[in-house]
Amino acid sequence: MDSRRDFLQKLTLSAMGLPLISLSGSPDMAAFYREPYEGPVLRVAIMGLGSYGTRVAEAMQDSQKAKLVGVISGTPSKIKDWQSKYNIPAKNCYNYENFDQIKDNPDIDAVYVITPNGLHHDQVIRVAKAGKHAICEKPMAVNAKEGQEMVDACKKANVKLLVGYRMHFEPKTLEIIRMREAGEFGKIMFFQGLTGFKIGDPNQWRLNKELAGGGAMMDIGIYSVNGARYMVGEEPVWVTAQETKTDPDKFKAGVDETIQFQLGFPSGAVASCLSTYSMGNLDRFFLNGQQGYAELHPATGYGPIKGRTHKGELNQPHQTHQTVQMDEMAGIILESKKPVVPVDGEEGLKDLKIIDAIYLAANTGEKVSLKL
Amino acid sequence: MDSRRDFLQKLTLSAMGLPLISLSGSPDMAAFYREPYEGPVLRVAIMGLGSYGTRVAEAMQDSQKAKLVGVISGTPSKIKDWQSKYNIPAKNCYNYENFDQIKDNPDIDAVYVITPNGLHHDQVIRVAKAGKHAICEKPMAVNAKEGQEMVDACKKANVKLLVGYRMHFEPKTLEIIRMREAGEFGKIMFFQGLTGFKIGDPNQWRLNKELAGGGAMMDIGIYSVNGARYMVGEEPVWVTAQETKTDPDKFKAGVDETIQFQLGFPSGAVASCLSTYSMGNLDRFFLNGQQGYAELHPATGYGPIKGRTHKGELNQPHQTHQTVQMDEMAGIILESKKPVVPVDGEEGLKDLKIIDAIYLAANTGEKVSLKL
């Protein structure tokens, strides 16, 4: 749809007093009429007002079931900007010192933690102790030990813990999973995930071991780790890995630049993956079964995702991932809905166990056994 | 070109008494006029009249510089068929007992050995001792020790030894190599080769360790091994590998079903490859540089090869690989021409050294260093 038609349709629907959802991104750009929603709404505070936090906030404006109502930030000027942009009352604004007081705020149901990886553990546990549901960006933590503590803390506090796996709600991804479960690819034999990009500014937190917990693996490699699991539909039982560093000045000790890793699954299927901070726009999934295949390219970007199977192009329409994610997560938290692929703390913990094993395998050269 | 036009053009050119070359395979099918060739011709005997030998014989009918003049086979009825089909005189026909007598035959320049891998070593050495040039199907032998002995024997006998690397003459492949050398991809960072097919009849020689020297690696995996080298343009310095066997009845000890292997190169580039006998029609190459990429799919089949780079589709016309190979190999043997990518015994030996290392790495779980 061209922008003029898009505009006219929006105008018409608005004039009719009908709610709109914008499905952004060419070539699937479109505006759809949706039934008015009158069910429960998840009232969310975002912790961490960086670029991804901003993206989530924007996407949440189109969400029916989740509403941005609060912020937690260490930067007063950002809080001010967000307050005026999203109409957030002062009583719903916190900083990193006082956000435990959120426990006394009846107008916030959940906190979405979108801060550097190394901070997630303590922050999520504080959110849980404040009695609020936690949504945590991935990786959920920097190792499985931390992840387990977060899962335990949320269980103890009787709050839900979800991890920001937006691809678990992506329509082309879900179609491939549906086809696999229907046996349309035959026995699954191979998954390949290539995920990477060329990272810029050497001073950003993503290249700081303390804050990031690692390098590319913690940022973009986790898409291949997680993708291997939801595409193959099994949990891996072994992992091998090889690390390559071409720029040790930029990628210091403990900050991985490029890691190749391989996974073996109980059925005999294998996965071959690449995680890198030194190659531009690498974003490819390939799933091969004995009767067919699927490929996604791009596979995990913000979309539109593109892909095909042995049966032809996938043409499920694109919808802003974070909008769908927030709608679905509201359903999970408020109505105990079950997603096709889990997005809970246990799911995040499995990825961390694999990442721990990948680092161990890369460091020792050993094949590492896994039991998830 | 449709078949009617093709037919008419052939008719016209034939009526003009002009030689034709058929460029087979849709969608690039075409017939081209070629200048009459009056240079030296390589007179070739084929050893091993199986399905691939038959394919080479057919392709050689369109070759200008190589001519099929003799056969070596253990099956008298096959020899008879080939004699009548290709007009081969009885004096140019041999069996596996008497083919050493080829040394007394002035009408044969070279023998193309197209027999099971495990036989190449002894047969090529006998060809060399008979003073004839040897062309050997790949893998040149079943390990590097054998390969080295073959190289040495041919050197000693002062005959050339070439290995049937038909992809080294394939136009789309060569275009990617040209682009890489011109810096159009920037610094090369990653190669991926996925090569495999689902093997049928469990009783064929390819699943017999003695005759095949291994399993999928020796048959289809070598395309990824070799492809990694000509696509990256460097020699690997380390290898790791993981073997998976889902059907030990079909794939006995020493016969590999699925091997994933990784290569590291001096520049820091890495390769991630898959060799398998249990997945249908897996034939994908992907080369990623810091400024661009290339992909081929299919990458190594009999063609047409299809591919694209960051600049768009590759559209070099398809020509029967084995026809081009035989023309080019005649030029190498008779006129000492230098191909863009070598096809000599040393080239074949490098692949065998890597394959030895892959098997060692898969068996021990160790990272194996290489010096080629």
Give the residue from A223, A184, A130, A124 showing the smallest Cα distance to A310: A184
pLDDT value, residue A21 = 47
Question: What CATH number labels A3-165?
Answer: 3.40.50.720
Q: Give the gap in angstroms from C-alpha A316 to the nearest C-alpha of chain B.
A: 25
CA count, 13 A, side-chain hemisphere, A240 = 25
Q: How far apart are CA A43 and CA A53, in angstroms?
A: 15
Per-residue pLDDT reduced to its tens digit, A48-65: 999 999 999 999 999 999
Contact B260 A262 (CB under 8 A): yes
**Crossing angle of helices B345-364 and B144-156, rounded to 10°:** 160
Which of these is catalytic: B138, B160, B172, B350? B138
* Nearest-neighbour CA in chain A from B358: distance (Å): 14
In whole angstroms, what is the distance from residue B31 CA to residue B13 CA? 10
Residue with tokens 């995702």: A305
The CA dihedral of B203, B95, B131, B46, to the nearest 10 degrees, is -60
CA distance B7 to chain A (A): 34
Mean of the pLDDT values across residues A140-154?
98
Amino acid making up residue A162: L
Distance between CA atoms of residues B57 and B322, nearest Å: 9
pLDDT of residue B213: 97
For the cut 70, the answer to whether the pLDDT of residue A24 exceeds it is no
Residue B139: is the preceding peptide bond cis (ω within 30°)? yes
User: Which of A65, A112, A132, A138 does the annotation list as catalytic?
Assistant: A138
Q: Are B296 and B289 in contact (CB under 8 A)?
A: no
| Mean pLDDT calculated for residue range A78-83 | 98
Residues 6+ apart with CB under 8 A from B85: none
* C-beta atoms surrounding A130 within 10 Å: 20
Residue B280, min C-alpha distance to chain A (Å): 6
**SS3 category, B341:** coil
Nearest Cα to Cα of residue A281 among A296, A302, A295, A301 = A301
Return d(Cα B337, Cα B297) in angstroms, integer. 30
Question: Angle A139-A143-A147 (CA atoms, 0-180°, nearest 5)?
Answer: 75
Most A-contacting residue of B244, B249, B364, B368 (CB-CB within 10 A), to test interface = B244
User: What residue of A is the nearest CA neighbor of B194?
Assistant: A192
Is the confidence at residue A23, as pLDDT, over 50? Answer: no
Q: How far is CA B142 from the centre of its chain?
A: 15
Q: What element of type H or E holds A94?
A: strand A93-94
Protein fold of B3-163: Rossmann fold (3.40.50)
Chain A residue numbers with beta carbons less than 8 Å from the beta carbon of B262 are 242, 260, 262
Which fold would CATH assign to domain B167-369? Dihydrodipicolinate Reductase; domain 2 (3.30.360)
Q: Which two tokens stand for residue A113?
A: 């933690």
Ranges of each domain in chain A: 3-165, 167-317+345-369
Q: Which residue has the tokens 């011709």?
A: B41
φ, ψ of residue A54 to 5 degrees: the values are: -60, -40
Interface of B with A in 271-300 (CB under 8 A): 272-274, 276, 278-280, 282, 284, 286, 288, 290-291
Residue of B nearest to A288 (CA): B279
Compute CA A286 distance to the chain's CA centroid, rounded to the nearest angstrom: 19
A245, A270, A282 member nearest B288 (Cβ): A282
Q: Do B242 and A367 touch (CB under 8 A)?
A: yes
A365 in B contact zone (CB under 8 Å): yes
Residue B32's pLDDT is what?
Answer: 54
Q: Do the chains contact at A290 and B280, CB–CB below 8 Å?
A: yes
Q: Which residues of B92-120 are buried (b: 16+ CB within 10 A; e: fewer)?
A: bbbeeeebeebeebeebbbbbbbbbbbbb
pLDDT in tens, A198-221: 999 999 999 999 999 999 999 999
Q: What pLDDT, on a 0 to 100 scale, did the predictor assign at position B33?
A: 64
Per-residue pLDDT tens, chain B, 372 aa: give them.
334 344 334 444 444 444 444 444 444 444 456 778 989 999 999 999 999 999 999 999 999 999 999 999 999 999 999 999 999 999 999 999 999 999 999 999 999 999 999 999 999 999 999 999 999 999 999 999 999 999 999 999 999 999 999 999 999 999 999 999 999 999 999 999 999 999 999 999 999 999 999 999 999 999 999 999 999 999 999 999 999 999 999 999 999 999 999 999 999 999 999 999 999 889 999 999 999 999 999 999 999 999 999 999 999 999 999 999 999 999 999 999 999 999 999 999 999 999 999 999 999 999 999 999
Residue B272's pLDDT is 97
Give pLDDT tens digits for A6-16.
443 444 444 44
Cis, bond preceding B171 (omega within 30 deg of 0): no
Q: Which of A279, A287, A308, A310 to mutate to test the interface with B (most CBs of B within 10 A)?
A: A279
B 227-246 residues inside an 8 A Cβ radius of A? 240, 242, 244-246
DSSP character for A221?
A: I
In the prediction, which pLDDT does A2 show?
A: 38
Q: What is the CATH number of domain A167-317+345-369?
A: 3.30.360.10
Peptide bond into A248 cis (omega under 30): no
**DSSP one-letter string for B175-208:** HHHHHHHTTTT-SEEEEEEEEEEE---TTSGGG-
pLDDT at A35: 78
Of B189, B280, B282, the CB nearest to A279: B189
Q: Please count the other Cβ atoms lying within 10 Å of the Cβ belonging to residue A273.
A: 26
Q: Which helix (H) or strand (E) holds B65?
A: none
Chain A positions touching B274 (Cβ under 8 A) are 190, 192, 270, 272
At residue A154, what is the residue type?
A: C
Rounded to whole angstroms, what are the CA distances from B324 to A101, A153, B79, B133, B207?
77, 68, 25, 18, 30
Report whether pLDDT(A242) > 80.
Answer: yes
User: With contacts defined as CB-CB under 8 Å, which chain A residues touch B267?
Assistant: 246
φ, ψ of residue A272 to 5 degrees: the values are: -130, 120
Q: Which A residues, 172 through 211, put their C-beta within 8 Å of a C-beta on chain B?
A: 189-190, 192, 194, 198
Residue A209 burial (C-beta neighbours within 10 Å; 0-12, 13-18, 19+): middle
Q: In the prediction, which pLDDT does A280 show?
A: 81
Distance from CA of B24 to the nearest CA of A (A): 26
Give pLDDT, residue A33.
64
Is residue A31's pLDDT more than 50? no
CA distance A358 to B282: 26
Give buried/exposed letters for A21-57 (b at 16+ CB in 10 A, else e): bbbbbeebbbbeeeeeeeeebbbbbbbbbeeebbebb
Instruction: Calculate how close chain B gets to A369, using CA atoms only, in Å.
Output: 13
Query: From the centroid of its chain, how far is CA A185?
Result: 26
Q: Quote the distance between the C-alpha of residue A370 and its chain's center.
A: 23
| A contacts of B260 (beta carbons < 8 Å) | 262, 270, 272
What is the pLDDT, as a whole number, of residue A32?
54
Binary contact (B268, A279; C-beta < 8 A): no
In chain A, the residue whose alpha carbon lies closest to the alpha carbon of B270 is A244
The count of CB pairs under 8 A between chains A and B is 90
